[in-house]
A and B are shown apart, each in its own frame.
Chain A
Amino acid sequence: MSQTTAAPPDAPAPTGIPRAGRLPRWAPYACFAAGAGAAVLLGLLTSLNPATFVIYTVVLGTIALYVASRRVEGSRRAIDRLVTCLVVSAFGIAMVPLISLVIEVLSQGLERLDGEFFSSSLVGVVGEGGGAYHALMGTLIVTGLTTLISVPIGLMTAIYLVEYGTGRLKRSITFMVDVMTGIPSIVAGLFAYALFASFLGPGIRLGIVGAVALSVLMIPVVVRSAEEVLKLVPNELREASYALGVPKWRTIVKVVIPTAIAGLGTGITLAIARVVGETAPLLVTVGITNATNFDPFDGRMATLPVYAYYQLTQPGVPPQFAIDRAWTAALLLIILVMGLNLVARLISRFFAPKTGR
């Protein structure tokens, strides 16, 4: 703001277009500085804390800027400035919780993000120490299985809808996929549990049951995104391929899918990210264990969300150790999701159709 004393940046335009007066560029800063000053005064009168200070500053600064702008620049520009202030402060308001969320998880979770956390399970652990190796592996296995189930079904359904589907079946599948996106996650869990329990007896807890439950949640997401992406593949490419005497299925496999692979990869990765943190369905389908179990068809498995949930809600004595582990597991989940997002970006960059000369 030191340059504010320099010549006003808004020298009259040389073209001579008549224009209304404009506030100098430092005006918003000045208004908000004034707002801050007034906020301090107001705060001293009542009670001053950072939150009220920020609120007063923003409100008073916005009013000051609006009034100033209205006097100098007229009402249209004043409204424009007012909306700018509103949009920016709404954005700020929205960012506060989001940032605090990240900070909270980091500050609580970083402490235990150590080698032991990644290398050991909870077998023989009471109180301090222990890790989430088994839960991490469980999450990877269950999520991997989910992907294995959902991606072929979801992709084939999308292919059906885009390439083959006609008439009533297509319309009903489209509608049902929509309905399926609305299945509450806990209902999906109960459904998968009931399905397997009717074959294998009640009390069944297997990794595969969890994978089925998560698939119910993931398939519609995959179908939706894959459908959008496949629709974007130009029809000309399909025709070019047909004209070369390539059968339809080969055209889909070798031309359509490779062209859309970047979008498909991104969509699938984001779908995985969407289900990897699901807790409720896994609680009733996969259960929990302390030991590492690599076999999704035999016995309970630990998964990160369930692990975090139980560590937080059923801590031992003293509770702090388990609570620390819960936060670290939550942090690990976020890191996992972030990693997946990163992978999605890499995929889309890696496989994007080449256009460069």
Chain B
Amino acid sequence: MTTTSAPTEPPVQRPVRRIGDRVFSGGARIAGILILIVLAGVGAFLVVESLPAITASPEDVPGEGGLAAYIAPLIFGTLLSALIALLVATPLAVAIALFITFYAPRRIAQPLGYVVDLLAAIPSIVYGFWGIAWLAPQMVPFYEWLEENLGFIPLFAGPVSTTGRTMLTAGLVLAIMILPIISALAREVFGQTPALHREAALALGATRWEMIRMAVLPYGRSGVIGGAMLGLGRALGETMAIALVLSVSGGITFNLISSGNPSTIAANIALEFPESSGLDVNTLIASGLALFLITLLVNTLARWIVNRRADFSGAN
């Protein structure tokens, strides 16, 4: 009888509220709702504008194979480049974070962290410039070596692109772009590992690596995964760097070192949009919708992983 509510209906307490409070809380709520509206707007825009392409007969869609046939290689290219980026960047980012947090001398650790953070903010177009001017030519000998020695693997079947502007190069550029994002998050969670955990491990006579493996990595795992997903989201949506670096002239292929590569959704929109009109534009926006859904999926997955892991990591 005690925990349930009182027998009489509780009197509705309508506290007197000041005008200032009402205006301010109303403003805050409106701002929040505005975000919902903007997002709904973006969603509605994407759906409405892609409808003509979705309902169009296959011959009218660019490539004349229908919408699915048009978008499929783009989705493949988007996922492939982002996957390469993720596979390359995650271990390196963890290494950077470990190095800065536990290995580097204290005096240089902070400036190093600052420099790496700074790289997260370098405009993507600069990465694109650099990718064409420096990275792609440097990679050619390496690709030739790959083809010669590992050519039996379909990934490195060749023929080698003589300019180096391949899927692997694009993936590497993306990897370098998302490296600072992942490492920043990893560094943060590593730095937050409770001193007690670390000292407990060291007090047991653990070496530095054993301390990291026992105390730091389990604690930071969700942060690293979250950072990786964030980086993946960025890689999926990257536009200019890919448009500049990648040689796009092929369909679905796992061959990473030749000239013929599938484009990515974002880069394809940037490349095709200026000269497009009519249904072509709708088709591009439909591909944008696909990209939006993919990133939505990745972000939801990231949040889910982080939340699920949070229960076990000992973080609060």
Contacts and interface: CB of A to CB of B under 8 A. Distances in A.
Given A83-B209, A270-B121, A219 B35 contact: yes
A166 to B, nearest CB: 11
A186 B266 contact: yes
Interface string A272-299: 0110111110011000000000000000
Interface of B is mostly: helix
A76 B206 CA distance: 9
A302 interface: no
B92 interface: yes
Interface in A45-93: 76-77, 79-80, 83-84, 86-88, 90-91, 93
A76 B96 contact: no
A280 B45 contact: no
A79 B209 CA distance: 8
Given A88-B103, A182-B233, A187-B288, A105 B126 contact: yes
Contacts of A348: none
B130 A101 contact: yes
Nearest to A249: B24
A341 B28 contact: no
A83 B216 CA distance: 14
Contact of A84 (B125, B129, B208, B237): B208
A309 B208 CA distance: 47
B270 interface: yes
Contacts of A253: 24
A101 B126 contact: yes
Contacts of B114: 341
Contacts of B14: none
B123 A305 contact: yes
B38 interface: yes
A29 interface: no
B303 A178 contact: yes
Interface in B20-34: 20-21, 23-25, 27-34
Interface in B119-146: 119, 121-127, 129-130, 133-135
B95 interface: yes
B148 interface: no
Interface string B208-219: 111010000000
A308 B125 contact: yes
Interface of A is mostly: helix
Interface residues of B, number: 78
A275 B43 CA distance: 21
Contacts of A199: none
B133 A108 contact: yes
Given A94-B179, A108-B133, A183-B292, A305 B207 contact: no
Contacts of B296: 179, 182
B273 interface: yes
A323 to B, nearest CB: 9
Nearest to A108: B133
A191 B118 contact: no
Contacts of B133: 104, 108
A110 to B, nearest CB: 14
Interface residues of A, number: 86
A277 B42 contact: no
B298 interface: yes
A155 B33 CA distance: 13
B280 interface: no
B95 A182 contact: no
Contacts of B91: 90
B186 interface: no
Nearest to A327: B129
A277 B124 contact: yes
Across the A-B interface, the 10 shortest Cβ-Cβ residue pairs: A277-B123, A184-B237, A90-B95, A156-B31, A249-B24, A182-B295, A160-B28, A80-B207, A273-B121, A280-B239
27 contacts: A90-B91, A91-B95, A100-B134, A101-B119, A101-B176, A104-B129, A108-B133, A161-B32, A176-B36, A179-B296, A180-B38, A184-B236, A187-B237, A187-B269, A191-B42, A219-B38, A220-B35, A223-B35, A247-B21, A249-B18, A273-B121, A277-B122, A277-B124, A277-B126, A308-B129, A309-B240, A340-B121
Given A87-B98, A93-B92, A176-B36, 16 more contacts: A90-B92, A101-B126, A105-B130, A153-B31, A154-B31, A159-B31, A178-B303, A180-B39, A190-B285, A190-B288, A195-B45, A277-B126, A279-B239, A308-B129, A334-B122, A341-B114
